[in-house]
Amino acid sequence: MLDFIKNKYFLLCLATAFVILSSSHFVAGDTNSDLTGIVYDISESSSGFVFKFESSSGEQMSCFFEERPTEYCAYTIEGTYSSDNTLFFVSSMKGMN
């Protein structure tokens, strides 16, 4: 009665569906991030400010935002990574009190 489970095409389709569903979860999670950490090493560019950000998990990244943050202050930032994951474009930034 359950002979279809032994069918190699059924197993192949099942494995493919699992891979697609698993990978879509990870891709969707990388589109928008909410991070908490410290801002440092601020430099001004023609269209905003580039700064280093160290998250509470210890991750260090380069970020871009249109307004100047206060150096060595804690912020919660939200935004998206560039296509090559070298720069984090901040869409909102809230200081922590």
pLDDT digits (tens, 9 = 90+) for 68-89: 999 999 999 999 988 898 999 9
d(CA 84, CA 86): 6
Q: Give the model's pLDDT for residue 47.
A: 94
DSSP 67: S
**pLDDT for 28-70, tens place per residue?**
444 556 889 999 999 999 999 999 999 988 889 999 999 999 9
* 40 close to 54: Cβ distance less than 8 angstroms: yes
Distance from the first to the final alpha carbon of the chain: 64
d(CA 58, CA 38): 10
Q: Give the model's pLDDT for residue 77.
A: 95
Q: Give the model's pLDDT for residue 18.
A: 67
d(CA 62, CA 37): 12
Q: DSSP letter string over 14-38?
A: HHHHHHHHHHHHHHHHTSSEEEEEE
d(CA 74, CA 53): 9
